[in-house]
Amino acid sequence: KIEEFGPGNSVVGERFLKYYMRQSGVLRSGEATIAKALDDCDLETEMHQDLRETARAALDRFVDRDNLPAISAGLKKMFVALAMWTARLRGAVNRDKYTNRLFHKPQSEIGTRLVKQLYRLATGIAIFKRKDEIGMDEYKAASKVARFSVPDLVEDVVRNLYVRKRGEWTTSSEIAQWTRLPPETLDQLLRDMHLLDIVVREAGNLSYRWMLSRALVELMEPLGLYTRERVMAHG
């Protein structure tokens, strides 16, 4: 799994952005995809041909490097903030596996490589669609890739805190119930996220209470990362 190799690499930057599609934890979440695969079982030759033609069309598309799709100042700021958010959540906390002591002060990548990768992805999509300007559709595609390049445990906690209790203190037991993570795993994860300034904490009666840091929430507000999830959660 890619998360096993991510912490060390994310600090120094990576040549390629690791990304994979995630499914929800619901048992029947992949049912439609599996049923479609079964329906297409006897059409693999035609499907492979369609994929080859699509790939060829993308690679053969003429690109005028002096006339690339434009991007507005507002959308450019969103890409910068998106890269900063992604870099923060991909931050590394390296500990000794025997003593659990930190090797060095936790840090996040700066995000310069990330913003270039996400912008180039959006530019490529706009070129393929023959668009003169990068728009929200291209941004949404890039933001989805950004989300799915973040370690899934971290993204799961951030998503639940932002969607369910943004700006409110939350107990570890509540977060464990939402994410279905074992208490030991969640405790270590939250401590690492606290070191990276992703969450803040205060002492409760029996354990810490947690909340997304104000800086992270302010960074996320204009990005529209969890709009659909918030609508589903709050109606």
User: Tell me, what's the pLDDT at 2?
Assistant: 43
167 & 193 share domain: yes
Reported as a pLDDT band with limits 50, 70 and 90, residue 102 is confident
Please check whether residue 125 is in contact with residue 145, taking contact to mean a CB–CB distance below 8 angstroms.
no
Using alpha carbons only, give the angle 86, 14, 190 rounded to the nearest 5 degrees.
40
Q: Residues near 179 by Cβ (< 8 Å), separated by ≥ 6?
A: 153, 156, 157, 160, 186
Please check whether residue 90 is in contact with residue 10, taking contact to mean a CB–CB distance below 8 angstroms.
yes
Judged on CB neighbours under 10 Å (0-12, 13-18, 19+), 200 is middle
Structural domains of the chain, count: 2
Residue 217, in any domain of the structure: yes
- pLDDT exceeds 50 at position 20: yes
CATH number of the domain at 158, please: 1.10.10.10
- pLDDT exceeds 90 at position 16: no
145 & 166 share domain: no
Domain boundary among 96, 119, 149: 149
Q: Which amino acid is at 82?
A: L
Domain residue limits at 230? 152-234
Strands (DSSP E) contained in the chain are 170-171, 199-203, 208-212
CATH number of the domain at 143, please: 1.10.8
Q: Residues near 189 by Cβ (< 8 Å), separated by ≥ 6?
A: 153, 154, 157, 181
117 & 106 share domain: yes
User: Which tens digit of pLDDT belongs to each residue from 183-225?
Assistant: 999 999 999 999 999 999 998 777 899 999 999 999 999 999 9
145 & 198 share domain: no
SS3 label, residue 134: coil
Domain boundary among 117, 149, 181: 149
Residue 128, in any domain of the structure: yes
142 & 91 share domain: yes
164 & 213 share domain: yes
Residue 8, in any domain of the structure: yes
Residue 163, in any domain of the structure: yes
Question: How far apart are the C-alpha atoms of 176 and 228, rounded to whole Å?
Answer: 22
